[in-house]
Amino acid sequence: MQYHLNGFKPGNYEIPDAAREPAAIPPLVDLPGEVDVLIVGCGPAGLALARQLSEFADITTCIVDQKDGPLLFGQADGISCRTMEIMEAFNCSEMMVKECYQLRQNAFWEPDSEHPEHIKRTHRVRDARLGLSEFVHGVVNQARLHELLLEGMERSVTHLVPHYSRRLMELNVDESLTQNLNAHPITATFERIDTSHSGKVETIKARYVVGCDGARSAVRKNLGIQLEGDSANKAWGVMDILPVTDFPDIRVKSFIQSKDNGAVMIVPREGGYLVRLYVELDLLDKDQRASQLALTADDIIAKAQQILAPYTLDVKEVAWWSIYEVGQRVADRFDDTPAGNPDNLIPRAFVAGDACHTHSPKGGWGLNTSLPDTFNLGWKLAAVLQGKSQPKLLQTYADERRKVAFMLINADREMSKLVATRPTADQKGQAPKKSTADIEKFIARQNGFIAGTSIGYDASYLCTGHEHQALATGFPIGQRFHSAEAVRVGDGCPVHLGHLVKADGRWRIFIFGDVHSPLDANSKSGQLIDFLANADTSPVKRYTPAGADIDSVIDTYAVFQQQELAIEQLPDYLWPAKGKYGLRDYEKVFQTEEGMDIFEQRGVDREQGCMVVVRPDQHIATLLPLDAHEELSAFFGEFMV
């Protein structure tokens, strides 16, 4: 798709440039007096959480933002493979794939050895992330991702929409009530900042609050949580432009290092014409902020023109620009419990996204770490609020995501040093780095982290069974379920199994059958299916409410090696009757096919088979032998109600 030919226009890219208008701001209405979950901030973390919670009719959610309406342009643009997978869980990956620019190549430029005042391409390479997911790393306006999440919220059963133009004045957590799950220990006070109600004060009580309100988070400050880390005292300029240029790699992600003028990173944007530039500026003085440099967009353009010599850069329009300082910081806590939580308290207030980790934007990791933060937290909040899981589940958010935050800032610190041509504050006295070869090596080494596909959670009661990892080497426990295609038995349709794990709060059990036919009741597959369907200790039987569909809490799918299977020959559990009419579900059983063999692609033991338990956030919780019935019951018994 192409757009922005005659100027940048925000909004829905399905609508032609000439007709596109920004989405309307929802009408301003009073805040509710009491909710289950209060979300502060409409960035990717806040909207992903709201989108997830909007699917539960029995959970009341309120999301509040200081801005006067939805984001229109600027900020993040990179959408990692893992973020694409999460958007698939929200049923909107197709539009992202269709509209984004797909990053498939990287180009590297250095000073020309014969004319060092000019730059020269050293080489182009295939993007290292290709093949890590069924999705490709893409680039699209963050506002467009927001729009898709907002649309999903509004169209959900709860019709959730944000409350804009509210500034958080005060947030109080009544510690005497935090361990009473029926209480509303959170009291938040907001000031209306819209012109028609300026100065009006509103108060809302909540069971839980999540601060997704950015690097200067008011929620974090009210909770007394500190950001810890340092600054490189280095400034960069970033801008989205519509250029006319003879630079040959303007539509390829390019790392450019000049001899004396600094570095530029070029990121092509969606639509075929828009381009993002990251331009290296100067060192900052101690305690100096980038905003104090008094530089203009023209100054950043002039610097980029110097770096790109001998090529010309004529900027026809600047859609958005900013100046930022490089720094890496992580919050000392991700919730309102004391560090280490020695008293095993249940948290009631959380911070997520930029509110708990800040860094430079060059790696494209901000949005792609923030959104998974709340994708991790959302299903846990829902499970506890609905009484499906023990409240200790909420303690795992900080344990799992704080580790990822440290991985993020360490990678960003290394990336920031490699991309720059001039030393940062902590490199004074060192020779500046000039080679792009180290950038290429870094990208190749960190490709799984950059794509988000290798991020895994440590062993815990939510990630266990590591002694059985050899049964499916391509499904690392703790990492996300790596999708692959299989053929649906009911209709012969090829399906990506990872796309079955939607953001609906349900657990999934994937049965990978052994060499024996599941039609044999004495086979391990047959016995497991009978256990799940009928045994008193079956987690499916134990945790599914009376009268609810059999897959309403734990959803089971089966993949078999045998080719001669018919759906009507299989146990009813694999094609259950559901809904008020008892309609049959024919979409739970799959088989392999030549060229579409998930057993081979994911290293599943053909002789023994296995079962893979997948969490509601698509991460693998445990991997067990087919006959480990009691171990499966024990796994869910650790935290389910």
Which amino acid does the sequence have at 538?
A: S
pLDDT at 488: 97
| Of 554, 537, 448, 453, nearest in space to 501 by CA | 554
- State the average pLDDT over residues 590-601: 94
Look at residue 287 in the predicted model and tell me its pLDDT.
64
Q: What is the average pLDDT across 416-429?
A: 67
**35-86 pLDDT, tens digit each:** 999 999 999 999 999 999 999 999 999 999 999 999 998 788 899 999 999 9
Residue 458, SS3 per DSSP: coil
Lowest mean pLDDT across 134-138, 292-296, 310-314, 584-588:
292-296
Amino acid identity for residue 317 in this structure: E
CA pseudo-torsion sign 567, 573, 575, 577: positive
Indicate if the pLDDT at residue 364 is higher than 80.
Answer: no
Helix (H) or strand (E) holding 265: strand 263-268
Mean pLDDT of the chain: 93
**Region 249-269 average pLDDT:** 94
What b/e string do you get for 13-43 counting C-beta neighbours within 10 Å, with b at 16 or more?
beeebeeeebbeeeeeeebeeebbbbbbbbb
**Which three-class secondary structure state does DSSP give residue 493?**
coil
Q: What is the DSSP string of 33-66?
A: SEEEEEEE--SHHHHHHHHHHTT-TT--EEEE-S
Task: State residue 433's pLDDT score.
Answer: 56
Cβ neighbours of residue 578 under 8 Å, at least 6 residues apart? 549, 550, 551, 584, 585
How confident is the model at residue 630, as a pLDDT?
Answer: 97
Structural domains of the chain in order of their starting residue, each with its CATH number: 466-637 (3.40.30.20)
Q: How confident is the model over 206-233, as a mean pLDDT?
A: 92
Lowest model confidence (mean pLDDT) among 128-137, 229-238, 306-315: 229-238
- Return the amino acid letter for 38: L
Phi-psi region of 179 (alpha: psi -120 to 50; beta: other; left: phi over 0): alpha
pLDDT band at 328 (very low <50, low <70, confident <90, very high): confident
Asked if the model's pLDDT at residue 431 lies above 70, the reply is no
Mean pLDDT of 392-413: 93
pLDDT of residue 199: 87
Choose from 75-79, 241-245, 323-327 the range with maximum mean pLDDT.
Answer: 241-245
pLDDT band at 424 (very low <50, low <70, confident <90, very high): low
User: What pLDDT is recorded for position 184?
Assistant: 98
Tokens 């509601």 identify what position? 616
**What's the average model confidence in pLDDT over 190-218?**
95
pLDDT band at 440 (very low <50, low <70, confident <90, very high): confident
**In this predicted structure, what is the pLDDT of residue 327?**
78
Q: How confident is the model at residue 384 (pLDDT cuts 50, 70, 90)?
A: very high
When pLDDT is cut at 50, 70 and 90, the band that residue 422 belongs to is low
> According to the model, what pLDDT value does residue 230 have?
80
Return d(Cα 236, Cα 297) in angstroms, integer: 12
Model pLDDT, residue 511: 98
Q: Compute the chain's Rg from CA coordinates.
A: 26
Cβ atoms of residues 626 and 632 within 8 Å: no
User: With bands split at pLDDT 50, 70 and 90, how would you rate the model's confidence at 443?
Assistant: confident
Residues 481 and 510: their CA atoms lie apart, in Å, by 10
What's the CA gap between 599 and 552, in Å, rounded?
A: 27
Task: Check: pTM over 0.75? Answer yes or no.
Answer: yes
